[in-house]
Each structure stands twice: as C-alpha cells, then as structure tokens.
Amino acid sequence: MNSGLLHTMQAFASSLPLRVLTSGEVLFEAGEPGATIFCLLSGAIELDWGGDAPERFGPGDVVGVGALVSDNHRRHGTARALEPTELIELGREQFLFAVQETPLFAIELMASLERRLRGLED
C-alpha cells in the first residue's frame, strides 16, 4: 500500500465522485476506450492481462494510467473488484488539477508506477 498516495487521494475524494464496486464487479474490460484513471481508497482490484498472472491493486494504488498519456486509449486488461471496493475516478483535467494543487501527488504516482514496473520484471 502506498500510504502517501492514499492520503493525497483521500484529500481529493471529498471533491470527486466516489465509485463503489461490489465483489466480482467489472471496472473495465480489455478493448474498451478509457479516458480516466482510478485511485483505490479501499478494497482490491485484479487486473487480468489475458495470459500472465493477474496483477492485484489495493488502497493507495492507481489503475488505468495509460488513459492519461495516450489519446484514443483502449484498455489493455480487464479490471475486476475482488471485494467491495471504493475508488475515485480522475480524467485528465482532474489529474492536472490534483498535480497543480499537490505537486507531491505526481511524485508519489511515479514512485508507485516504478515499484509496479519493478515487480513486473521479477
């Protein structure tokens, strides 16, 4: 769990819509267009890439970051809640606002991605 990133997400949660998933509910499916990222406040998400072992995300993690960096993004995997899960959803404008208001948010997000990529290499 990334406690710094989770703390920042919780601060923004009061001004952003909260999304609640039940256990087994699909957040997004592979091939769908995607223009937002999801920040987990509680619960767990499994991201299935369709072959390799699925990736697991928990509180303080961010899912779907590719949507912020490419136009006409298509989701590469299917994300499903493993248990009741609360998330906030950020589009590009909300993300840029979060970075402007709390520059540390961008650093925490990059650190989170770096840890994730290191884990994928193992």
The predicted-structure confidence for 102-115, as pLDDT tens digits, reads as follows: 888 888 888 878 87
Instruction: State the DSSP string of 37-100.
Output: EEEEEES-EEEE-SSSPPEEE-TT-EE-THHHHSTT-B-SSEEEESSSEEEEEE-HHHHHHHHH
- Here the tokens at position 24 are 């087994």
- The candidate with the shortest Cα–Cα distance to 45, out of 15, 66, 20, is 20
Q: Which of 3-12, 40-49, 50-59, 92-101 has the highest mean pLDDT?
A: 40-49
Assign 120 a pLDDT band (cuts: 50, 70, 90): low
Q: Note the pLDDT of residue 121.
A: 54
Q: Note the pLDDT of residue 68.
A: 82
Assign 71 a pLDDT band (cuts: 50, 70, 90): confident
Query: Bridge-partner residues for 16, per DSSP?
Result: none
Class of domain 3-116: mainly beta
Domain range summary for the chain, segments of one domain joined by +: 3-116
Average pLDDT in the chain:
85
